[in-house]
Structure 1
Amino acid sequence: MATMKQVAEKAGVSTSTVSHVLNNTRIVSPDAKARVQEAISTLRYIPSAVARSLKNDRTHTIGMMIPNNSNPYFAEVIQGVEDASFQFGYNIILCNSYDDPKKQAAYVRVLLEKRIDGLILVASGSDSALTQLLADEALPKVLVDREVAGVAADFIQADHEQGAYLATKYLLDLGHRNIACVSGPKDLLSSRDRVSGYLRALKEYGVKFRLDCLVNSDFTSQGGYDAFQQLLALPQRPSAIFVSNDLMAIGGLCAASAAGVRIPDQLSVVGYDDIALASFTTPPLTTIAQPKHEIGGVTARALVERMLDHTLPFKREKLPTKLIIRGSTAPFTAA
C-alpha cells in the first residue's frame, strides 16, 4: 500500500504539500495540486482516516450497537440509519451485542477508541460499565427503543403502547374475549409498553385480565413456540393471542400447527413489527407495522443534529404504528 511519502516523491513535492491537498488546509499551486492528484491516482493511495481524524477531530463515522442482527426488524432500522447517514456524509460501524450486556460494553469501548463522531444504541440491558462509558456528555448519542438508566440522550421509538392497544382492540372487535399476550423481556420498556396497551384495551372493553394469559418470552421464534405451547395447554385455552413481535408469532404459528390448532379457525394471532416474512407465513400474519426504516432515518437525523449542536434539548419522539390485517385472524366462533 502506497504511503504519503511515496506520493510526495512521485509528485516532486513535500509531504506537507500532499497533506494540504488532501485536507484542503492551504492554497497549493494548480501545477503542484495536479501532480499530487496524478500521483495519488497512479499509486492508488488511500489516505489514513485515523490520521485525518486526529488532525480534524472528526472521522465522519457513526457507531451503531444492536442487540441481535438475526432479528429482521433491526435489519430494516439499520437500513434507515445507513440511508440517512450516507446523505449526511457519514459511514456506519455496526456492532452486535447478541443480547450480552458485557459484550455490549466492550464494543462501545472499542467504538469510542475508534473515535466515532456519535453513537446509536439499541441497548441490551445495562451495567455499570456501560453507564460509565455513556456518561460523557460530550459524546453525541441517540437511544432507540430501549432506555439506559442514568444516561441522558435523545430517545426514538415507535408508539408501542398504542400499537398493542390497536392489536388487542381489533381482536376484541372480532368478538374475542379470551385474549392472551406473549410479551418480550420484562426489563425492556418496549415490552412493558406493549403489555400496557394490551391491558388498556381489555379494560376499555370490560374484559377481565387473566394472569395465566400473559407469558414473557425473549423475542425469538423458539421463545414464541414455547410460549404458545404453554398457552395452548391451559384448561381454558385462549381464542386469540397478541404476540409482541413477529418472530415470536411465527414460532407460535408453528406450535399451533404442531398441536393441530387451525389458524385462524380455532385461534387468531396478531404479531408486531411487520417484518417482510410476515406476508409469507401460512396463513399470512396479521400484525402491527412499525415504521422501521423511518425510525432509522429519524434516529440518524437526530444524531447529526446533536453532533452539530450539543446544547439542543433532548428529543423524545414516538412514531405511529398501524394495523395490517392478513389471514391469521378471524371473528370469534364458539367451539
Structure 2
Amino acid sequence: MRERPKIKDIAERAGVSVATVSRALSDSALVTAETRQRILDLARELNYRPNVSARSLRTRRSMSVLLVVRDVGNPFYLDILKGVEATAREAGYSVLMGNTESDPARETEYFNMLRDGHADGMILMTGKLPPAGGWSHLPVVVALEMIEGAGLPHVQVDNIGAAREAVEHLISIGHRRIAHISGPLPELMSLHRREGYREAMRNAGLDVPESYEVRGNYLLESGQECCRKLFTLPEPPTALFVANDEMAYGAAYELRRMGHDVPGDVSVVGFDDLYLSKAFYPPLTTVSQPRAEIGHVAMELLLKILSGAEIDCDEPIILPTVLHIRGSTAPPRQ
C-alpha cells in the first residue's frame, strides 16, 4: 500500500522548509501568496490529507469552526454554509453548524463551546452577542447581521442602499402608497433596511404614514399577519417592500387569500432571493445577496485571525447586491 504523503514530501517537491509548508497550509500571513498557492497546488497533486488528530494534539486546536445561525431550517443559510465549508476544507477545517432559534441560552452555549476549545473560531449570523460579555478576545467574524460597537470584523451587504434601490423600483413604475414590513427591531439589519425604504420615499417626496410601517420577525406567518394589518387600513398600500423573502411569501399568500391579485392589485418586493423565489407564483422581485461569496469571505477572514494576522475591525467588508425584477411587481391600477 502506498505510504500516505507527509508535509516533508511537499516541502521537498516545493524546495522549501517543512515549517513553510505548515504555515502555508494553515493560511499564515507569514507566507507569500505565490508560495502558498504553489504549496496548495502540490498538496492537491500529492493528495495530501492532514492528520487532524496529530495536529490537534500538537497545536491544541480542534480544527473545526462554528457557523451559528438563527434557524437552521431557513434555506437562506445553505449557500452561505457551502461557501464557508469549501474554504474551510481547503485549510483542513471542518464546519459545525449551530442553531440558536433566537434563544439567548443557546447563543451563550455556542460561545462557551468556543471558549472551552471545542471549536477554534466562529462565524456569527444571529446579530447578537451573549449578554454576560467576555467574548471580545475570541476569534469571531460577524456575517450579514451586524452588531454595532462589537469591535469584531464584519462581512455584510449595503442594506440601506439595497433597500433604497428596491423601493425606487416601485416608485419608478408608478407606486406612491408603499408600505414596509420590517424584520425584528431594533436589530441593526432591520433598521438599515427600513432606513433604505424611508430614504427612497423621502427622496421622491412621498410621505410615510406611521401605519405603513409594521414589524415582523422574518418568519412567513409574520408576513401574513403584517399584511392583514395593512389591509384593514382605510387607504391600504398598492405596494409592499418586505424585509425578507419568507415574509414576502406570507404577504403574497395573504393578499391572494383576501382576494387581491399580485401584482395586479398589489406589488410585492422581497429581500434575499431564496431559490424558491423564482418558482414562487408570481416569481418574486427581490434583492439578491451573494450568499456563497459571503461564506467564502467570512471564512477567509476567520482563517486570517486564526493565523495571527492583524484585522481591521473598523471597516466592514461590503459585498454587492443585485435587484432581480420579476413578476410580482407591476404599475398600480389606474
Q: TM-score, normalised by structure 1?
A: 0.81
Distance in 2 (CA, whole Å) between partners of 1:59 and 1:155 is 24
Distance in 2 (CA, whole Å) between partners of 1:124 and 1:161 is 16
- Answer yes or no: is the 8 Å Cα contact 1:167–1:242 preserved in 2: yes
- Answer yes or no: is the 8 Å Cα contact 1:140–1:310 preserved in 2: no
SS for the counterpart of 1:203 is helix
Distance in 1 (CA, whole Å) between partners of 2:298 and 2:211 is 37
1:326 aligns to what?
326
For 1:1-335, what aligned pairs fall within 5 Å after superposition? 49=53, 52-123=55-126, 125-129=128-132, 131-132=133-134, 134-136=135-137, 139-148=138-147, 151-314=150-313, 315-334=315-334
Give ranges in structure 2 of 5+ residues lacking alignment: 9-50
Distance 1:124-1:68 versus aligned 2 partners, 3 A rule: farther
Structure number with bigger Rg: 1
Distance in 2 (CA, whole Å) between partners of 1:157 and 1:60 is 25
SS for the counterpart of 1:79 is helix
Distance in 2 (CA, whole Å) between partners of 1:271 and 1:147 is 20
Distance in 2 (CA, whole Å) between partners of 1:249 and 1:100 is 24
Q: CA deviation at 1:295?
A: 0.8
Cα deviation digits, residues 34-88 of structure 1 (max 9, x gap): xxxxxxxxxxxxx783x75243222321112111112221122112111221122
Q: CA deviation at 1:23?
A: 9.5
Distance in 2 (CA, whole Å) between partners of 1:236 and 1:282 is 26
Q: CA deviation at 1:175?
A: 0.3
Distance in 2 (CA, whole Å) between partners of 1:161 and 1:147 is 13
Distance in 2 (CA, whole Å) between partners of 1:103 and 1:150 is 22
- Answer yes or no: is the 8 Å Cα contact 2:160–2:195 preserved in 1: yes
1:11 aligns to what?
none
- Answer yes or no: is the 8 Å Cα contact 1:101–1:124 preserved in 2: no
Q: TM-score, normalised by structure 2?
A: 0.81
- Answer yes or no: is the 8 Å Cα contact 2:67–2:123 preserved in 1: yes
Q: CA deviation at 1:291?
A: 0.9
Distance in 2 (CA, whole Å) between partners of 1:126 and 1:234 is 38
Distance 1:322-1:22 versus aligned 2 partners, 3 A rule: closer
- Answer yes or no: is the 8 Å Cα contact 2:146–2:189 preserved in 1: no
Distance in 1 (CA, whole Å) between partners of 2:108 and 2:149 is 15
SS for the counterpart of 1:228 is helix
Distance in 1 (CA, whole Å) between partners of 2:131 and 2:309 is 24
SS for the counterpart of 1:128 is coil
Cα deviation digits, residues 125-153 of structure 1 (max 9, x gap): 34423x32x122xx321011233455321
Distance in 2 (CA, whole Å) between partners of 1:52 and 1:308 is 15
Q: CA deviation at 1:232?
A: 1.4
Distance in 2 (CA, whole Å) between partners of 1:195 and 1:125 is 19
AA at the equivalent of 2:318: K
Distance in 1 (CA, whole Å) between partners of 2:259 and 2:60 is 62
- Answer yes or no: is the 8 Å Cα contact 2:113–2:119 preserved in 1: no
Give ranges in structure 1 of 5+ residues lacking alignment: 1-20, 25-46
Distance 1:151-1:310 versus aligned 2 partners, 3 A rule: farther
Q: Which has the higher helix share?
A: 1
SS for the counterpart of 2:190 is helix
Distance in 2 (CA, whole Å) between partners of 1:103 and 1:64 is 13
Distance in 1 (CA, whole Å) between partners of 2:323 and 2:119 is 38
**Residue-pair matches, total:** 288
Instruction: Flag as ranges the 4+ runs of structure 1 deviating above 6 A.
Output: 21-24
